[in-house]
Structure 1
Amino acid sequence: MASSSLTASAFSAPAVLLSGAVDYDMYKEFRRQLAQASERELVVIELSTLGGDPEVARMMGEDIRYHSEMEPGRRFVFLGKAAIYSAGTTFMSFFARPNRYLTRGTRLMIHERKLDKKLHIQGPLTTCGAMLKATLNEIEASIAIQNEGFENLIRGSSVTMEEVLQRAPENWYIEAEKAKALGLIEAVM
């Protein structure tokens, strides 16, 4: 299906409507609604979220990537409404840039992944070192996954990876029109 810019009428009846925390309940609802839209050529997924689990967002995103690659005759389009924070922005990054839309006044929020972990070291010294290395490996893997998502988000835009890495630690909020000007989305509805 052609990826020309869509008009407002294309968004009048989204196939998938999601709001709230990005979590396993949202994933289950996403999968249910996506399955019900199996006959649609244009599949609009509307989302409003203050964030949630980034791994659930990645699972949902992989579903979009899979369907987009396996069913090239269908078009999967993201419509962000009001707030697309954190995990919502991660999910949006899985859509091709021409298939990303926001409603007027919507804000994207980009930030680094967070870790909340207490490390208690006790036992034989060799196992203490292994626990430290395991935690370091977890942090390094999480940074790599985070940066893959940032790269997906900015591909085809004027935003550089350096800019994202500089601004993400401070929670970078981007209003819809600014997101369009930066080339992060196709259009504002």
Structure 2
Amino acid sequence: MKSASKAPTWSWNLTRRAETLTSVGVLRWRSAWSPFRQTGLCVGKSYVYSAGVTILAAFPRANRYLTEDAVLLVHERQIEHQIQLNEPIKAALQKVRAQLSLLETARDLELEGFRELVQESRISVEELYDRASTNYYLSAAEALKVGIVARILR
């Protein structure tokens, strides 16, 4: 009788290249592996900026590790967009509502990621959100102290 196969263990190694990954990729990874009820390990090396922090937040705190030289950068999402209105009022209102919906959805996704990052830590989501507005840099030691990661690898 064959034994049931287990899902492989996954490990993400976060470097500068991780900045190109998006929240959507993390959510797809999660939903693909949730039936197996397994989780991977995440090791942040050197620079864990922007989307790298989003990926780190997708893992439970107990499975997050940083190398001792790692630095995290937590910041608010940014958008650069101009809306040109040169149409009837009804069409202009629809265009503005669509952009507002986009901004509200981005804010909600950002807050969800911040909640995941600070879950089981000693920093509140409100404090993280305040600090993120001015680019919050954390050393590996600081991240360990506030409870964002489980351990520093030496």
TM-score past 0.5 threshold: yes
Query: Unaligned stretches of 5+ in structure 1?
Result: 1-37
Q: State how many pairs are aligned.
A: 149
In the TM superposition, what are the counterparts of 1:1-189 in structure 2 within 5 Å? Answer: 41-49=8-16, 52-53=19-20, 56-72=21-37, 74-189=38-153
Q: Which structure ranks higher in relative contact order (CA pairs < 8 Å, sequence separation ≥ 6)?
A: 2
SS class of match (1:158): coil
**Residues 39, 59 of structure 2: 8 Å contact kept:** no
Give how far 1:185 is off: 0.4
Cα RMSD, aligned residues only:
2.0
SS class of match (1:170): coil
Write the letter of the residue equivalent to 1:144: D
CA separation in 2, counterparts of 1:132 and 1:40? 45
Write the letter of the residue equivalent to 1:62: L
**1:50-93 deviation line (CA, Å, top 9, x unaligned):** 7645xx43233224423552223x54000000000010000111
**Residues 6, 36 of structure 2: 8 Å contact kept:** no
Give how far 1:108 is off: 0.6
Query: Unaligned stretches of 5+ in structure 2?
Result: none
TM-score (norm. length: structure 2): 0.87
TM-score (norm. length: structure 1): 0.72
Identity rate, percent: 26
